[in-house]
Amino acid sequence: MKNKFVWLTLVLLASSTLLKAQEANRRITTALPFLQVAADARAGGLGDQGVATSTDAFSQQWNSSKYAFAKKEIGVALNVTPFLTRLVNDIVLANLVGYKRLNERSAVSASFRYFSLGEIEFRDGPTSEANIQKPNELSLDVAYSLKLSDRFAMAVAGRYLRSDLRLQTSNLAGDSNAGNAFGVDITGFYQSEEIPYRNFDGRWRGGFAITNIGPKIKYSQDQESFIPTNLRLGGGFDFGIDQYNKISVTAEISKLLVPTPPQSLNSNPATGGSSPDEIQTFDEFVKSKSAIGSIFSSFNDAPDGFSEELEEVTYSLSAEYNYNDVFALRAGYFNEHENKGARKFFTLGAGFKYTSIGIDMSYLFSTSNTPSPLDGTLRFGLTFLFGQDYREF
């Protein structure tokens, strides 16, 4: 889509990477924000959660240790998420995932996510030749999951990250390059045995994930940014009403493990301070922090203390009805504090399965004064399952 809206879209979506002036609300910004977006329709229908939900083929983004509990030997899945569909039609997040159970206790998995910001057309004059730019970001990862007991598994994933937001035009010249980085995930998942209660059988689920642990991504000699290292914790319960009907409820919280910007940052490099106690530019602030050290300091570095740290925690709630693993209905709610991004939305979703093929869809309703780029977006995912069945202990 080649119109004025595309340039506006690029500025809005890439602001967390390219715009360094911080607002008074100290919203935390990182590079590669697409890594925080639910890249599959099932999670999108459950309020953007997946760390403690039941295993599916798209578990790689949320908690790859869940693959050790997969019921099918092999799974391959594809999902495409469009952005800002009311303005443009070429900004999309594509997600391709695959896993394989190696045996009763272990599995390997991999995924590829590609975020295209569409085509940007530049012209030096009304009759000059068009200069087409296609900024994009991507991630490629592999993981190994292992059951440490019949009910608990852990996994480690390695991820390659690339962010190419350069705009090579005569008016926007500079020394910036495509940024490259790597990240590591450490995850765990617990799933209890079925417990007989008076009127139903129940199962507890719990999970944690620390994702994108790694160094800062560098765009130029003077420009670098944190990747979105994130902590997720979740828990849920399955109500097995009978052999065909099941209702699952899940709650999840998450927090970015990157520094909170100080109360004041100077946008003028000529007068910016050179120590953490002085007013700095955003670039000086980022360069003064180490990536690994910031993971630990992120729990107590908010200028307004513990109350602001709580504002940095997002939460989501979801419910899923499943009939005989053939049909599912889903609903969820996601909340982020007004001072930290103000993402608030309800989601609805559904899933259908026929033999080895599954189809998922979801829809998002924004409830915030800050518009969501996914507001009113219908997402679809396709899953293929093959191989032998694995029973649960």
Per the CB < 8 A criterion, the answer to whether 381 and 43 are in contact is no
Query: What's the distance, CA 37 to chain centroid?
Result: 4
- Mean pLDDT score, 191-217: 93
Strand partners, 224: 218
pLDDT, position 151:
95
Supply the Cα-derived Rg of the chain in whole angstroms: 22
Average pLDDT over residues 93-108: 95
Q: What is the pLDDT of residues 180-200, one digit of tens each?
A: 999 999 999 999 999 998 888
**Coil, helix or strand at residue 127:** coil
**Residue 268 banded pLDDT, cuts 50, 70, 90:** very low
Q: Which ranges constitute the DSSP H helices of the chain?
A: 4-13, 15-18, 41-45, 282-287, 291-297, 306-311
How far is Cα 79 from Cα 360, in angstroms, rounded to an integer?
A: 9
For residue 246, which of 233, 236, 261 has the smallest C-alpha distance?
236
Per-residue pLDDT, 199: 87
pLDDT higher than threshold 60 for residue 159 = yes
Instruction: Decide which of 346 and 341 is more confident.
Output: 346
pLDDT for 210 equals 97
pLDDT over 70 (residue 278):
no
Indicate the burial class of 153 (C-beta count within 10 angstroms; 0-12, 13-18, 19 or more): buried
The helix/strand/coil state of 14 is coil
Q: What is the mean pLDDT of residues 226-234?
A: 95
- What is the amino acid identity at position 380? F
How do strand 224-225 and strand 230-240 relate by DSSP bridges? unpaired
- pLDDT at residue 296, as a whole number: 92
